[in-house]
Amino acid sequence: QVQLQQSGPGLVKPSQTLSVTCVISGDSVSTNSAAWNWIRQSPSRGLEWLGRTYYRSKWYNDYAESVKSRITINADTSKNQFSLQLNSVTSEDTAVYYCARDVASGQIDYWGQGTLVTVSS
């Protein structure tokens, strides 16, 4: 059974960096058969895919154009986790952030518990 456990601060000041980490159990971040995603949800934007990292003999990343200049997703194989960093945040980045695993045809079969991140001074 795969579990994704998220951690990170719930409050970030405007212009600072949002960081959330997702620890994986029951699978490996460097598996060749899955990708590791970050998705956020807010009332105004709905479910919004932010990006992913995956390993296929080397590491790859894909990012949404809307955040491409501000986002970094990294995998840490020693801790079997992956992380999201979003720079220069504004109130528009206030949302629940989810980590998630996708497999096979891209369906997301496991989600983290979600982290509510509020951007406010």
Partner 1 sequence: DIQMTQSPSSLSASLGDRVTITCRASQNIVTFLNWYQQKPGKGPNLLIYDASSLQSGVPSRFSGSGSGTDFTLTISSLQPEDFATYYCHQSFNIPRTFGQGTKVEIK
- Minimum CB distance to partner 1 smaller for 12 or for 35: 35
The least distance separating partner 1 from the CB of residue 114, rounded to whole angstroms, comes to: 5
- Minimum CB distance to partner 1 smaller for 32 or for 78: 32
Coil/strand/helix, residue 109 = strand
Q: Residue 112 corresponds to which tokens in the numbers above?
A: 């983290």
**Spatial separation of the C-alpha atoms in residues 82 and 101, rounded to whole Å:** 11
The least distance separating partner 1 from the CB of residue 86, rounded to whole angstroms, comes to: 16
Closest CA to 4 of 116, 114, 93, 78: 114
- Minimum CB distance to partner 1 smaller for 13 or for 61: 61
Strand-pair category, 11-12 with 115-119? parallel
8 Å CB contact between 119 and 18 = yes
- Minimum CB distance to partner 1 smaller for 41 or for 87: 41
The least distance separating partner 1 from the CB of residue 106, rounded to whole angstroms, comes to: 2
Using CB under 8 A, list all residues that contact partner 1: 37, 46-49, 62, 64-65, 98, 100, 102, 104-109, 111-114
The least distance separating partner 1 from the CB of residue 16, rounded to whole angstroms, comes to: 25
DSSP state of 68: T
Strand-pair category, 34-42 with 3-7? unpaired
